[in-house]
Amino acid sequence: MNLIPNFKPKNIVQSIESLSKKGLQVVAQAQKGVDWNSVITATDDFECELGRLTSVNSHLNAVMFTDEFNEQYEKTLPIITNFYSDISSNKALYAAYKNLKNTNLNKQQQYILQESIDGFELSGVGLEGEISDRFKAIKERLSILSNTFSKHVLKSTNEWKKTVTSDMLKGYSEVELAKIQTDEGYELNLQVPVYMDVMTYLDNRELREEVYRAYVSRASELGITSCDYDNKSVMDEILTLRQEMASILGFENYAQLSIESKMVESVEQIIDFLMNLVKCSKSQAQAELDELTKFAGIELQPWDLGFYSEQLKEKKFGFKKSDLTPYFPEKKVLEGLFLTIERLYQVSVTPVNEPTYHSDVQVLEIKKQDQLIGKIYLDLYAREDKRGGAWMADYQPLTKADKPIAFVVCNLNSPSKGKPALFEFDEIVTIFHEFGHALHHVLTKVKYPCAAGISGVPWDGVELPSQYMEFFCYERDVIKQMSEHIDTKKPLPDELYSKLIDSKNFQSAMGMLRQCEFSLWDLKTHLGVKDTYEVLTEVREQTAIIPAIDANRFLNTFGHIFSGGYAAGYFSYKWAEVLAADAYYYVQENGGIGSRASLDFLHNILEKGGSQDFMVSYEAFRGKKPEINALLQSNGIAT
């Protein structure tokens, strides 16, 4: 059993080609199989072997990007895509799966089998001749375009830097200054921790505007090297190919194809859900904006919102975001997180010394009663060679021979000048969120890799454990466990904690509108009728309460949609928030952390993975279907 990934791959093209050939031989045998082991176990085991290699390659390309490695990585994408296309269109293998319906299977196996058969059909197994070839070519091209999109975002983010003097940085504390200090002075860039500081604390309005415009014009025709990194043509081609793919499979548009594998029943149902949230939130959001405008005393522009919001928040609640930061050094935050996980799920999380791909990375062992359950590779800090955002990726699922391994990646503040990394509270929420995903992967009890952890879970269910985990950040006992002032060593005082909780839903309706805007734009863009920026303009007529500037090209960096798994599925965040709020309030009403209810979440959600219908799992935990009021309640929005 090998629990250390190979982080120094070489000859990856040759390795992928060799494994793909082996895989076709495995499939050739499996299509002759007559029982579960000879058909599904055989293909599952091989996909684990291939997945370990492709996962490491993808991971390193995202967190240790170099042009040299990316060149080789891009060569593997068509090979991998074509291999999976060959499997999903293999009619003999499809027939072997269907024949298993007549064998003696348990309930988990029956469910997994039917999901696999549905997957074959959504992957074009019924296509013939030129149409089948075209479908495969579309998938291959989409894999290349997705990587190109990410590469353009990373490079366009890194190309903008600005040297500034201390007198230009009024509003910054020592914490913010430390992030941008160089041997020559101070340098601003577009990495998220630095960008957010500019938008939140920098008095200099002209400089805020300059940084904002640089940030929202990345990977567009307005960027510094627009001809090299403009993503608009990449986006257009992706959307066109997705529409063609959906049409080939008999759907009117890609949104319908995407919804087919979600919990929800139709595009119309989810649009109604989102518009209901807009309706419930808009008047409160307008009141929030009016309050902010009155406070600022100027006509607000997008680069003003974060700055004046932070000042208004300080005035209303008697503290500012940076007051919290000294209480949350990295080591103490992680100790508190690990203890919370232990109390929630009766497992331990312990750092261990093992080889990794970067000195920033920590290796964590997850154990239950001293027995190893799995591992997490934790990569917290922002770097120039690292894709922005935060995510969990699986390296290895639970099998009969191996334990699960996950990668957790964030782009947070790093240690500086001998001082530990200090996290803002929003960053702590992000860490909890990604650990929710990782625990979903690692704590599974399902030993069928295609349904273990998040595998086989509908996309609008995948976000439940992560959104649920966020709620625990705000509990008093949890904050005591993960806070320790860098100087006084005291936990966050009760007075400051009360102010944090009072401010939790500050401008929450504005945030709700923003997320609904993204979700509606995503779905309507994938209806395939209009240019994506035209769709955004129409959606904003219903959702926006402050105009966007003409130079805003945010969509050109929207990796969730164009290089992630959220195409026509971004609504999953809001739908999962409904589930998460409903789940959290239920657990709180029944004893909270460490209660039978919190263990029921483990047993019915995390351990079950994709081995049964996800709503069946949720109702087994909760006793009934979730209700939207829980989401509105958690956001402080009147129902």
Distance CA 380, CA 412 (A): 6
Is residue 490 one of the residues assigned to a domain? no
User: Tens of pLDDT along 458-476?
Assistant: 988 999 999 999 999 999 9
Is residue 98 one of the residues assigned to a domain? yes
Domain that holds residue 88: 12-126
Together in a domain, 30 and 120: yes
Together in a domain, 58 and 174: no
Answer for the pair 153, 231: CB distance below 8 angstroms, yes or no.
yes
Together in a domain, 72 and 174: no
Residue-level pLDDT at 183: 87
Is residue 598 one of the residues assigned to a domain? no
CATH number where 89 lies: 1.20.1050.40
Is residue 107 one of the residues assigned to a domain? yes
Answer for the pair 393, 406: CB distance below 8 angstroms, yes or no.
yes
Distance CA 540, CA 536 (A): 6
Summarize the confidence of residues 520-543 as an average pLDDT. Answer: 96
Distance CA 593, CA 167 (A): 48
Secondary structure class of 138 (helix, strand, coil): helix
Is residue 550 one of the residues assigned to a domain? no
Q: Would the pLDDT of 296 be above 50?
A: yes
Together in a domain, 170 and 118: no
User: Tens of pLDDT along 40-98?
Assistant: 999 999 999 999 999 999 999 999 999 999 999 999 999 999 999 999 999 999 999 99
What is the pLDDT of the chain when averaged over all its residues? 95
* pLDDT above 70 coverage of the chain, percent: 99
Together in a domain, 172 and 115: no
User: Tens of pLDDT along 170-221?
Assistant: 999 988 998 999 988 999 999 999 999 999 999 999 999 999 999 999 999 9
Q: Would the pLDDT of 2 be above 60?
A: no
Q: Would the pLDDT of 226 be above 70?
A: no
Which sign, positive or negative, has the C-alpha torsion 258, 264, 270, 274? negative
Give CA separation, 348 vs 162, 230, 345, 513, in Å.
Answer: 44, 46, 9, 38
Q: At which residue do the structure tokens 């013939």 appear? A: 128
State which H helix or E strand residue 303 sits in: helix 302-317
Residue-level pLDDT at 413: 86
On whether the pTM is more than 0.95, the answer is no
User: Tens of pLDDT along 3-33?
Assistant: 678 898 999 999 999 999 999 999 999 999 9
Answer for the pair 73, 147: CB distance below 8 angstroms, yes or no.
yes
Summarize the confidence of residues 518-536 as an average pLDDT. Answer: 96
Final residue belonging to a domain, choices 82, 110, 126: 126
Is residue 402 one of the residues assigned to a domain? yes
Top-confidence range, 395-399, 478-482, 547-551: 478-482
Together in a domain, 64 and 179: no
Is residue 551 one of the residues assigned to a domain? no
Is residue 55 one of the residues assigned to a domain? yes
pLDDT band at 1 (very low <50, low <70, confident <90, very high): very low
Q: Would the pLDDT of 234 be above 70?
A: yes
Residue-level pLDDT at 627: 87
Residue-level pLDDT at 470: 97
Q: Would the pLDDT of 433 be above 80?
A: yes
Residue-level pLDDT at 401: 85
User: Tens of pLDDT along 309-334?
Assistant: 999 999 999 998 889 999 999 999 99
Q: Which two tokens stand for residue 412?
A: 């947070």
Residue-level pLDDT at 224: 75
User: Tens of pLDDT along 343-385?
Assistant: 999 999 999 999 999 999 999 999 999 999 999 999 999 999 9
**Looking at the 3D structure of the chain, how many domains does it have?**
3
Final residue belonging to a domain, choices 126, 150, 183: 126
Which DSSP letter does residue 225 get?
A: T
- In the chain, what is the greatest distance between 2 CA atoms, to the nearest angstrom? 76
Q: Catalytic site residues?
A: 434
CATH number where 369 lies: 3.40.390.10
Count Cα atoms within 13 angstroms, Cβ side, for 217. Answer: 18
Q: Which two tokens stand for residue 226?
A: 């627009």
Q: How far apart are the first and last CA of the chain?
A: 53
